[in-house]
Amino acid sequence: MKKNVIIVGGGFAGLELAKKLSSNQHFRVTVVDRNNYHFFPPLLYQVSTGFIEPSNISYPFRKMFQGQQNIRFYMGELVNVDPETNTIETSNGRLSYDYLVLAMGTESNFFGNDNVKKNALPMKTIEEAVNIRNYILLRLEEAARSTASTDKERLSNIVIAGGGPTGVEMAGMLAEMARHISSKDYPEITSSAGHIYLVDSSPSLLGPMSKKAQAVAYKVLSGLGVKIKLNTLVKDYVNDEVILSTGNKISSATLIWASGVIAREVKGLPVEAITRGRRIVVDEINRVKGCNNIFSIGDQCLQTSDKNYPNGHPQLAQVAIQQGLLLGDNLKRQEAGKPVKAFRYHNKGSMAIIAKYKATVDLPAGFFKGFFAWLVWLFIHIIPLVGFRNKMKLFLNWLWSFLTNDPALRLIFKPVKQKN
């Protein structure tokens, strides 16, 4: 009898697990996701700045699973888990499982600030990235029409909350575009009308990375004109005013939120399985606390059994990928009656692009920066993309945009309400 494996979430972790179990005669795999496509989150900020198309970093699940006899896709959103009956309820029906794997990732954390949640622009999905692109372009069009200097400044100012890799990369990209594009596209707006602000509560940018990487990020962004405010929190956002913990205010119609994440909610699990940041507590093989046949992998889980990471692993793509691969092996071992292996994260390093031809790369063996680091970043981000066409489209788009300093994707597409 084949075992039904339901994987909720088609991100890095879920996809690696599904691929690991593909063509295995012991398993029938169903990937459940609210979208019908897999996408590459590290490049969302380039979609939001009009640098690349959403299709460059997206790929349909059904096309991906063509020819895989034991993998099926089910489009739906998780509503509830029922461990007693081994079923899950989705927005489109109920499914039964022998093994359930939760790999739904995270969503933006607004830390209980209702005004920020209502008015800021998060960037965790393709839809949100496209929304940011539309919103920024609409504000610039409004600024171009405005006759009051205070309105031009408010509409042109952009505040980014969060100085991690996403915030740094977003600030660098916007600064480059302001330098090379704004004066050509919007001659009605003077170069001094608006500024880009990067706000973070930490004493440095790129907190998880090395001191050298942090220093490079600060120097490059400052050189591009980004106004960096460290040791500072965004306390509120009211009437186009970003209120800071220092008591200062920034007049801005655009607040981009890259300041924190929280695990997606799962209803029905044991109370003791949910911990800080709504993460799911798992053991050394990623089995959910209090459950026998439910697992969680990737950003959504918290695993403290790894001796090198007693407080849990960083919420990074490499952790998710490695957990997905090992869980696939462990499920095979379990079905074959063989002993399973405990997860140990192998840190391959981290990197961030700061501006054109400028990046930082932290490896276990050392640190490097500049043009070569930028090339490494470029190709490392192409390799994981699904589909040869996606890789080629992205590379050609990047090449043209970097050579011309003038990407042609500054299009405002206004979505209409869809029929269900």
Q: What is the CATH number of the domain that holds 15?
A: 3.50.50.60
Angle between the 317-335 and 12-21 helix axes, to the nearest 10 degrees? 30
Q: Which CATH number does the domain housing residue 150 bear?
A: 3.50.50.100
Q: Are residues 124 and 246 in the same domain?
A: yes
Per DSSP, 274 falls in state B
Q: Residue 279 in contact with residue 300, Cβ under 8 Å?
A: yes
User: Would you say residue 419 lies in a domain?
Assistant: no
Cα 268 to Cα 164: distance, rounded to the nearest angstrom: 33
User: Would you say residue 49 lies in a domain?
Assistant: yes
Q: Are residues 118 and 247 in the same domain?
A: yes
Cα 401 to Cα 173: distance, rounded to the nearest angstrom: 12
Cα 408 to Cα 170: distance, rounded to the nearest angstrom: 18
Which segments of 97-240 are extended strands (E)?
99-102, 106-108, 121-122, 158-161, 196-199, 227-229, 234-238
Give per-residue pLDDT as tens, 23-69. 898 999 999 999 999 998 988 998 998 888 888 889 999 999 998 98
Runs of H (alpha helix) within 59-125? 61-64, 114-119
Q: Are residues 100 and 211 in the same domain?
A: no
pLDDT at 407: 65
**Residue-number span of the structural domain to which 135 is assigned:** 114-259
Q: Are residues 103 and 140 in the same domain?
A: no
User: What's the predicted TM-score (pTM) here?
Assistant: 0.91
Q: Are residues 236 and 286 in the same domain?
A: no
End residue of a domain, out of 298, 320, 335: 335
Nearest one of 290, 283, 289, 291 to 330, comparing CA atoms? 283
Q: Are residues 265 and 254 in the same domain?
A: no
Tokens of 418: 């869809």
User: Would you say residue 237 lies in a domain?
Assistant: yes
Cα 73 to Cα 30: distance, rounded to the nearest angstrom: 6
Nearest one of 17, 182, 229 to 104, comparing CA atoms? 17
End residue of a domain, out of 259, 274, 300: 259
Domain count, the chain: 2
pLDDT at 350: 86
Q: Residue 235 in contact with residue 243, Cβ under 8 Å?
A: yes
What three-state secondary structure class fits 94? strand
Q: Are residues 222 and 247 in the same domain?
A: yes
Q: Are residues 237 and 118 in the same domain?
A: yes
Q: Are residues 284 and 187 in the same domain?
A: no
Q: Are residues 244 and 168 in the same domain?
A: yes
End residue of a domain, out of 226, 259, 292: 259
Q: Residue 260 in contact with residue 109, Cβ under 8 Å?
A: yes
Cα 97 to Cα 48: distance, rounded to the nearest angstrom: 37
Q: Are residues 103 and 124 in the same domain?
A: no
User: Would you say residue 24 lies in a domain?
Assistant: yes
User: Would you say residue 176 lies in a domain?
Assistant: yes
Cα 21 to Cα 32: distance, rounded to the nearest angstrom: 15
pLDDT at 357: 76
User: Would you say residue 317 lies in a domain?
Assistant: yes
Cα 142 to Cα 411: distance, rounded to the nearest angstrom: 15
Per DSSP, 233 falls in state -
User: Would you say residue 64 lies in a domain?
Assistant: yes
User: Would you say residue 285 lies in a domain?
Assistant: yes
Nearest one of 322, 265, 330 to 295, comparing CA atoms? 330
Positions in the chain whose pLDDT score sits under 50: none
Q: Are residues 118 and 255 in the same domain?
A: yes
